[in-house]
A and B are shown apart, each in its own frame.
Chain A
């Protein structure tokens, strides 16, 4: 499979703690994206990181990319109950416009 795969499959933390999710992929990429999906809803784009970038920040989100290890991580700092959702990474596999999604990490932030 060329998909990114997230790890862990499920994560449960207390409000205020940091949450780290990982994504591994198999082939070279141009871009990697992270999305959030609330239950029963569509996906919301969080961050796009290009293969020549190592780290990007957006608010409480920090994404790293290690192309030598073919892996990425998403860190959510100071988590809130509203962060409860599934988080997916998506990789483009040498095609700028077609992305493959992993199975996601289901994050539960307990108030």
Chain B
């Protein structure tokens, strides 16, 4: 079991470009969560998805950010027209329905740098 796989690990984009971050959940997990972490800070909730459904996107900025979790393939977090303030580590986590006693399983994150 490869756990939660995120790619790329590091992503550099120029201002105005698009960033696409991918997350493959752990096998058997149908719930995916995206969090953003600024340096020296905690994780901020962005969005919670199940297959083909956005359950809660209350933490997503209203513009430029979108997320999907299609029936087949990884979950994608898409940031359009990136700005310097988007530079952060973006973590994906997955869980089975009901969470159980093991909590979330996190990926290693994608570190986005906007230059």
Contact = CB atoms under 8 A, between A and B. Distances in A.
A and B: bona fide binding partners: yes
Interface of A: 3, 31, 33, 35, 41-45, 48, 88, 90, 95-104
A100 B45 contact: yes
A98 B33 contact: yes
B99 A97 contact: yes
A45 B103 contact: yes
Contacts of A100: 45
Interface in B39-97: 41-45, 48, 55-56, 91, 93, 95
Contacts of A35: 103, 106
A44 B4 CA distance: 12
A102 B42 CA distance: 6
Interface residues of B, number: 26
Interface string B88-115: 0001010100110111111111000000
Given A3-B42, A96-B98, A98-B45, A44 B104 contact: no
8 contacts: A42-B4, A42-B91, A43-B104, A45-B103, A45-B105, A97-B33, A97-B95, A98-B56
Contacts of B48: 97-98
B104 A99 contact: yes
Contact of B109 (A42, A44, A90, A103): A42
B31 interface: yes
Given A98-B33, A98-B48, A98-B56, A43 B98 contact: no
Contacts of B56: 95, 98
A31 B104 CA distance: 12
Contacts of B33: 97-99
A45 B98 CA distance: 16
B75 to A, nearest CB: 15
A101 B42 contact: yes
